[in-house]
Structure 1
Amino acid sequence: MTDRFDGHHLIADLTGGKRLDDTAHIERCLVDAATAAGATLLQVRLHSFGSGMGVTGVAMLAESHISIHTWPEYGTACIDIFLCGRKHDLDAGLATIAELLGAQIARQTLLVRAYRD
C-alpha cells in the first residue's frame, strides 16, 4: 500500500432559507462555497424548475463536487459537499451556503470516504 488518502463527504439539510428559487443566487452560493472550502472550481451547472420552484445545481470541482437541491415552498435545501483533498474546509463551505441563504443548518453528517492505491 502506498499513501493513504481520505475524501470527506458532508451532507446537510438547511431550513428557513430565502432566495431558494433564484438561480443566479444559488450559483453564487456554490461558487462562494467552493472558495471558502479551498477547492478548485471547474464549472457550475444549474437547473431551475420554474418561477417560484426549486433549483438543482452542482459545482464540479477538481477535488469532486458541491451540490444543492432547493424547495422554496418549504424553505429547505439539501447540500452535498464531497472533497478529496487533504486541506479543505467543508464546514466553511457549508457555513457560506447557509449564510448566503439566510438558513440554519438543521442537521449534517460527515462521512470519511477512504481509498488506497
Structure 2
Amino acid sequence: MTGHATRGRHVLADFRGVRADRLTDPQALERQLTDAARAAGARVLSAHFHHFGAGAGVTGVVMLSESHISIHSWPEHRYAALDIFMCGAARPELALEHLRAQLAPESVSVTTVARG
C-alpha cells in the first residue's frame, strides 16, 4: 500500500465442528458477539439478529463505532462464518479468541486482510 496507513483489520473466520445448539439461539449469539466486541476494545452501537426457524441457523450483525462483527450459522453442518472488521485501537483478534472460547469449534480457519 502506498500513500496511507492501513485503516483496519478484517478477520474472516470459519468455525467448523461447533455443537448445533450453540448456533441456533439468536439471543445467546448476540450476547457473545457483543461481549467479543467489548473484549476487543470496540464500542457497540446496535445489533440485529435473525433466526430462520426451528433447527435452522442465525444471521446477525453487531454494528460498532470501529465497524462490525457478523455471524452466519448453519447448525445442520455445525458451521459458522464470522466476519470481524475493526479499525482504530480495537483488536479484532481478541474478539476472535473470545468467540472461539464461547463456541468451541473443533477447527478454525482464519484469513486476515489489512483494509484501507
Q: TM-score, normalised by structure 1?
A: 0.88
**Amino acid corresponding to residue 16 of structure 2 in structure 1:** T
Q: Which has the higher helix share?
A: 2
* Distance (Å, rounded) in 2 between the aligned partners of 1:104 and 1:32: 21
* Distance (Å, rounded) in 2 between the aligned partners of 1:4 and 1:27: 32
State the 1:3 CA deviation. Answer: 6.9
Q: Aligned residue for 1:94? A: 96
Q: Over aligned residue pairs, what C-alpha RMSD do you find?
A: 1.5
Q: What is the 5 A alignment of 1:29-68? A: 29-68=32-71
Aligned with 1:23 (options 22, 26, 40): 26
Q: Aligned residue for 1:75? A: 78
What's the % identity of the aligned pairs?
A: 45
CA contact (8 A) 2:68 2:84 kept: yes
* Distance (Å, rounded) in 2 between the aligned partners of 1:63 and 1:92: 14
Q: Given the superposition, is the C-alpha separation of residues 104 and 98 from structure 1 closer, same or farther in structure 2, using an over 3 Å criterion? A: farther
Q: TM-score, normalised by structure 2?
A: 0.89
SS at match of 1:33: helix
Aligned with 1:103 (options 94, 102, 105): 105
Q: Which has the higher strand share?
A: 1
CA contact (8 A) 2:6 2:114 kept: no
Deviates more, 1:30-39 or 1:3-12: 3-12
5+ residue gaps, structure 2, are none
SS at match of 2:77: coil
* Distance (Å, rounded) in 2 between the aligned partners of 1:21 and 1:36: 23
* Distance (Å, rounded) in 1 between the aligned partners of 2:109 and 2:47: 25
Number of corresponding residues: 112
CA contact (8 A) 1:12 1:105 kept: no
5+ residue gaps, structure 1, are none
